Amino acid sequence: MPLLNVQNLSLTFTGAYGKMEAVREISFSIAKGELLAIVGESGSGKSLSALSCLGLQPASAAISGNVQFDGKEMIGASEAELRQIRGRRISMVFQEPMTALNPLHTLGKQMAEILDLHQRLTPQATRERILELLEQVGLAHFKDRLDAFPHQLSGGERQRVMIAMAIANRPDLLIADEPTTAVDVTVQARILKLLKELQHSMGMAILLITHDLTIVRRLADRVPVMSKGQIVEQGAVAAIFDHPTHPYTQHLLTSEPKGSPLPAEPNAKPVISCEGLRVYFPIKKGFFKKTVDYVKAVNDVTISVPEGTALGVVGESGSGKTTLGFALLRLIKSTGRIVFVGQDIHTLQTKQLRGLRKQMQVVFQDPYSSLNPRMSIRQIIEEGLMVHFPEKSEDERTLELDTILNDVGLTPDMKDRYPHEFSGGQRQRISIARAMVLRPRFIVLDEPTSALDLSVQAQIIDLLKSLQKKYGLSYMFISHDLRVVKAIAHQIIVMHKGIVVEQGDTAHIFAHPAHEYTRTLINAAFMKD
Amino acid sequence: MSPITRRRLHLFKANRRGFYSLWIFLALFCLSIFAELIANDKPIIMKYKGEFYFPVFSMYTEKTFGGDFETEASYRDNFMIERITADGWMVWPPIRYNYSTINYNTPTPNPSPPSGENLLGTDDQGRDVVARLIYGFRVSVLFGLLLTFFSSIVGVLAGAVQGYFGGWTDLLFQRFIEIWSGLPELFLLIILASIVTPNFWWLLGILLLFTWMSLTHVVRAEFLRARNFDYVKAARALGVSEMRIMVRHVLPNALVSAMTYIPFVMSGGVTALTTLDFLGFGLPPGSASLGELLLQGKSNPQAPWLGFTGFFMIAGMLVLIIFISEAVRDAYDPRKAVK
C-alpha cells in the first residue's frame, strides 16, 4: 500500500471572474522511502496540491477527491486529527528560509517547540536531540549555535535548520516545496545531497516540488509533470526524460538552455572596458560615523567587452556581479578607469553622462518590479525617447515604438495596456524594448532570466541572441545560472567576494576550469559529484 | 480610465457603508453650500411695485420699500412685511432665520424648546438651532477641507524633501518635526487668541502649523523606498533627470499612500475646530459653530435639545467622514481581493 495516495484531487477557487480550477483531477502516490518530484512551471498548481495533502489549502478553495495517508483519509478530517499528523508524520520545508523562521526566537527554542509538541522529553533529552538533529543536517559549529538567532545564520544554514526541524519527529513523509530556489547553487547542491542522504538513512519518503529539471533528473525516483493544474504525464525519471510522450513534457525538456553563443568577429574593438575598477562601501562605526573599514564589493576588476560579443559574469549572491555592472554604467560610484567607445567616462559629470546613456542600457532581473505599474507600455518605452530625442514628433515615436515591439516579439496593439496585464516573460520583453528603443551599443543584463520559467528563459535567450545579431549589440550578461551563461556568453568572468577569480573563453573555462571555486560552481550547477 | 483606477472605484463601491456615506455627506454638503437659500432672514425673491428684488444677493435699504432708514431693510419686521405685501409678494427660504437672527417672539424664555417655528428650538440667545446647524456644518466642513488641502500640500512637499535628499537634511528635518510636534498646540492657540481675535483664516493657519506633519512620515518613507525601486533605477539608466523621476515615478506612489491618510486629517481638522469653539478660543463670537452649540448644551442642561443636536450633528459628521475614509483605504489597498 502506498504511503500517500492522492486520487482525483481538485481545487477550485470561485472569484468575480468565475471559477478557476487551480488543480484538476490529479492522482499520484508515494511509496514508503520514495522520492517523488512534482515538476511544473509557476502557476501549474504544484505547491497547492502538496499543501492540500496536509489540509493546508487556502480556505477559499473548494476541494474534492481523496487524499489517503497511511490508509487514513485526510480530506474532511478534523483539525485535531490533522494536527496529529502535521509535523509528526508529514512535515514540510518551505522555499523561503529567510521568513520561515521566527526572527525573535533562538534556534534552540524554536526546535524545542517542535519536539515538545509531539514528544514528551526532559529538557536534557530535548537538548541532546536538538544537537543530534543539527549534527545530522550538517550545521557547522552546531554546538555553539543553539542560542543563535536566525539573522546570524546564512540562507543555506537556515534551510538546514528548517530541515532539522522538519525531520525532528522522524516523519514518514517530508514535503519540500522548492527548498533550494532561494539559495546559491553551491548551497543548493549540498542541501539536495543532504535530503537524499536523509531519505536513505531514515527511510523517509520525500515529496519534492521543483521547477528545476536538473534536480529532478539527479534526485527523483518518479516524477509527475504538472501543467495548468493537471498532471500531464508521470512515470520513472529515466522513462520521462528519455521518452517524453506528452507535448508539454517534450517542450519542457527541449527548453533547457542550450546552444552556443553567436559567432563573433575575432578582432573586434572593445565597446567598453575598465581597469582597476573598485567599488568600496564604507563601514561606519561610532557616534561620529568614522569609517573603520570597507566592504569591497568590487575589487580591482579589469575587463573588456569586444563589440558584438557577450561577456558572462557568474558568481553567487554577494559576489559583486551586479555592482560591477552598475559601476560600469556609472550608476554607482566607483574608482578606476572606464572607457566607453574610446572615451574615458569615469571622469564625466552626471549631465555629460546623460547624452551617453542612450548608448548603454540595463535590463533588470525582476520584470515585476522594473516596470512602473502606473504607466502604460507606450509611456514606459517612450520615456527614454523623450529624454534623448525630444525633437521627434509623436508619429515618429509611435513608429519606433511599433518597430521595437515587433523586434521583441510583441505586437504594436499592446502598447496602450498596463504592465500587470502581461506575463513575466512578456514583461521582460517590454524591459528589453525599453532599453532597445534607444538603439544602444551596450546592454547590461542583470539576471534577465532568473525570475522566469524555464521555457520562457529559453525564449528570452533566443530573443537576446537575435537582437544581438540584428543590431551588433554587446552584452554584459550577469547570472548565477551557468547553464544560461553557457548558451549566450563568448567570454566569462567568475567573481567571488568582489574579486575576479578566473576569466577567459566560455568554452575553455567550462572544459578546463583552473580555479577551485570555478570547479565548485560548475559541479554544483550541472550536479556532478 | 486606467485599470488601476477602475479597480479602485470598484473596491470603493464594494464598501457599501463608505459609498453611501459619501453620497449622504455630499448631499449634506451641497445643501449647506446653499445655506443662504435654505435658512435666511431675507426673502429669496420679492416683487415690490412691479420690480423684482433679490434681498439674499444684494442689499436694499429700508427706504427702497418706503421705510425711514438708510440701513438694510429688516424683512422680518411686521411693518416691512405689511408694506411689501401690500404692493407685491415675497418668497421666503424654508427657514426664516439665519445663524444670527434672533427670534424675539419665543413663547418661553430662551433657550426655548422645539416648536413649529423653531424646529430644534432656540439657543440661549434666541437664535434658531436648525439655522445655526446648517451654517455650522458648512463652516466645519469647509474648514476641514481647506485644512486638509493645505496640510496635504505642505506635508507632501516636506516629506518629499526629506525622502529625496535623505542624509543630513532628513536627519535634521526629522528632529525638527519631533520637537515641533512636542509643542502644546492648544496652549499656543490660547496665547495667540489673547493677542489677536482669531477668525476663520487665523485658525486655519495656526492649525496648519501642526497638522501638516501627519502626512510627512508616509511620504518620506515612500520616497526613501522608491529611490531603490528597479523602475526608478531603470529611469536613471535611461538618463531621465532626477526631478522628472521624482515627479513621474515616485510622487504618484507617495500620493497613493498619502490618500489613505487624508480623510483622517480632515476629521482631525473638524474636531480641532469644534474643540476650540467649545473652549471659547475659536471663531469670533456670534459665528455659526458646532463647538459653540455644544458649549451651550453644557451650560444649559435644562435645554437638552441643544446638547443633543450638537452631539448628534458632530458625531454624525465624523462617522460619515470615517466611513468614507475606510472605503478610500480599501480602494487603495493592493491586497484587497476584488470580489
Residues 4-23 of B with CB under 8 A from A: 4
pLDDT in tens, A290-332: 777 888 888 888 999 998 899 999 988 778 888 899 999 888 8
Report the percent of chain B where pLDDT is more than 90.
15
Q: Which residues of A touch B2 (CB under 8 A)?
A: 374, 376, 418
| A147 half-sphere exposure, CB direction, 13 A CA radius | 1
CB contact under 8 A, B239 and A16: no
Residues 309-338 of B with CB under 8 A from A: 337-338
CB contact under 8 A, A364 and B337: no
Nearest to A168 by CA among A225, A92, A221, A281: A92
Question: How many angstroms away from the CA of B252 is the closest CA of chain A?
Answer: 8
Cis peptide bond prior to B111, omega within 30° of 0 = yes
By CA distance, what is B339's nearest residue in A?
Answer: A16
| pLDDT value for B339 | 47
pLDDT in tens, A206-248: 999 988 888 888 888 999 999 888 899 998 988 888 888 898 8
Q: Which amino acid would we find at residue A97? A: P
pLDDT in tens, B167-225: 888 899 999 999 998 888 778 878 877 888 778 888 888 888 888 888 898 899 888 88
pLDDT in tens, A124-152: 889 888 998 888 888 878 888 888 888 88
Nearest to A42 by CA among A155, A245, A234, A209: A209
| Structural contact between residues B163 and B170, judged by C-beta atoms closer than 8 angstroms | yes
A394 contacts: CB under 8 Å, gap ≥ 6: none
Report the percent of chain A where pLDDT is more than 90.
11
Best residue in B4, B6, B230, B339 to probe A by mutation, most A CBs within 10 Å?
B230
A285 contacts: CB under 8 Å, gap ≥ 6: A292
CB contact under 8 A, B236 and A331: yes
Best residue in B231, B244, B251, B335 to probe A by mutation, most A CBs within 10 Å?
B231
CB contact under 8 A, B234 and A431: yes
Could you tell me which residues of chain A have a Cβ less than 8 Å from any Cβ in chain B? 15-16, 329, 331, 353-355, 357-358, 360-362, 364-366, 369-376, 383-384, 387-388, 418, 420-421, 431, 434, 438
Give me the helices (H) in chain B, please. Answer: 3-14, 16-33, 35-38, 78-86, 129-165, 167-181, 185-195, 200-211, 213-226, 230-237, 242-245, 251-259, 262-279, 290-299, 304-331
Q: Which residues of A touch B235 (CB under 8 A)?
A: 383
| pLDDT value for B1 | 63
CB contact under 8 A, A358 and B240: no
Q: For residues B220 and B250, what is the distance between their CA atoms, to the nearest angstrom?
A: 11
pLDDT in tens, B244-254: 888 888 888 78
From residue A48, give the alpha-carbon distance in Å to each of A40, A378, B76. 12, 36, 77
Q: Which three cell numbers stand for residue A98?
A: 529567510
CB contact under 8 A, A354 and B239: yes
Q: Which residues of B touch A361 (CB under 8 A)?
A: 237-238
| pLDDT value for A18 | 66
| pLDDT value for A195 | 87
Question: How many angstroms away from the CA of A357 is the closest CA of chain B?
Answer: 5
pLDDT category at B57 given cuts 50, 70, 90 is confident
CB contact under 8 A, B231 and A438: no
| pLDDT value for A311 | 92
* Mean pLDDT, chain A, whole residue set: 86
Question: How many angstroms away from the CA of A439 is the closest CA of chain B?
Answer: 12
Question: How many angstroms away from the CA of A307 is the closest CA of chain B?
Answer: 20
Which residue in A15, A329, A383 is closest to B240 by CB distance? A383
CB contact under 8 A, A387 and B339: no
Q: For residues B238 and A355, what is the distance between their CA atoms, to the nearest angstrom?
A: 10
Q: How much is the pTM? A: 0.75
The answer to whether B1 faces chain A, any CB pair under 8 Å, is no
Best residue in A333, A372, A378, A381 to probe B by mutation, most B CBs within 10 Å?
A372
pLDDT in tens, B69-79: 888 877 887 77
Q: Which residues of B touch A372 (CB under 8 A)?
A: 231, 249
CB contact under 8 A, B241 and A353: no
CB contact under 8 A, B3 and A420: yes
pLDDT in tens, B104-160: 877 788 788 887 777 788 888 888 888 888 999 999 999 999 999 999 999 998 998
CB contact under 8 A, A358 and B239: yes
The answer to whether B235 faces chain A, any CB pair under 8 Å, is yes
